[in-house]
Amino acid sequence: MADRAEFLQKVRHRTQRGRYKPTNAPDVAWTPKDEPRHSPQVEDPPARFLEELEALGGHGVRVASVDEARDHVLSVVRERGANLLVRWDVEELEALGVDEPLGRAGVGVAVWRDLEDFREVAGKADVGLSTAAWAVAETGTLVLEGGPGMGRSVTLLPPTYVAVVRVDQILRTVPEAIEKYSGGPLPANVCFHTGPSRSGDIEMSLFVGMHGPGDVHVILVG
Check if the beta carbon of residue 151 is closer than 8 Å to that of residue 122. Answer: yes
Q: Report all structural domains of the chain as residue ranges with CATH numbers, in order of start.
A: 40-197+212-221 (3.40.50.10420)
Confidence at residue 188, expressed as pLDDT on a 0 to 100 scale = 83
Q: From CA 159, how far away is CA 61, in angstroms rounded?
A: 19
Nearest one of 94, 70, 86 to 126, comparing CA atoms? 86
Q: Across the 222 residues of the chain, what is the mean pLDDT of every consecutive 10-residue run?
A: 70 62 49 53 92 94 97 96 96 96 96 81 94 96 93 93 97 93 86 85 69 92 96
Record the pTM: 0.79
Check if the beta carbon of residue 206 is closer than 8 Å to that of residue 151. Answer: no
Q: What is the dihedral of CA 5, 9, 15, 16, to 10 degrees?
A: 140
Confidence at residue 30, expressed as pLDDT on a 0 to 100 scale = 47
